[in-house]
Amino acid sequence: MVATLPRVADVWEWLDAVPDPEIPVISVVDLGIVRDVALEGETLVVTITPTYSGCPATSIIRLDIETALREHGVRDFRLEQRLSPAWTTDWLSQKGRRKLEDYGIAPPQPGGTPAHCPRCKSAHVKRISQFGSTPCKSQWQCEDCLEPFDHFKCI
């Protein structure tokens, strides 16, 4: 339990352990959803930006962040949602991009086309559908290993 105010760096570390509910291999920090952590007097303020304003996972993300803070003894906190500027895939960390690819999801690329198959690394890929397992992903297939895979859309 935290007897004193937490260090901001510790809070970032705690939140880096909170998985995204739709892609559990990546944290809400690596995804870029957590925008800021600050102390305002005795109150910890965590600012989040959902991947899009209608994201169905936002309420779960908020609950998971609250749970993580409470588990570390933080009682006086406030979660703020900031919609502007809008979330962008540019906010994904390099570590998060690697985790996506290791998980079998092609990370976002400029131009909207995956650089290669996340499984065999072949550049011979084709889009199957603009829509994947979630609204932020599209469905692709490798023309060499023939495996289908999701591509995180560039937003």
Q: Among the CATH numbers 3.40.630.10, 3.40.190.80, 3.60.21.10, 3.30.300.130, which is that of 8-90?
A: 3.30.300.130
Q: Residue 31 and residue 93: Cα distance in Å, rounded?
A: 7
User: What tens digit of pLDDT does each residue of 119-155 get?
Assistant: 999 999 999 999 888 878 999 999 999 999 999 998 8
* CA pair distance 134, 149, nearest whole angstrom: 12
Structure tokens at 5: 């105010």
Domain boundaries in the chain? 8-90, 104-152
Supply the pLDDT for residue 3: 54
pTM: 0.88
**pLDDT of 1 over the 60 cut:** no
Task: Tokens for 21, please give them.
Answer: 């509910």
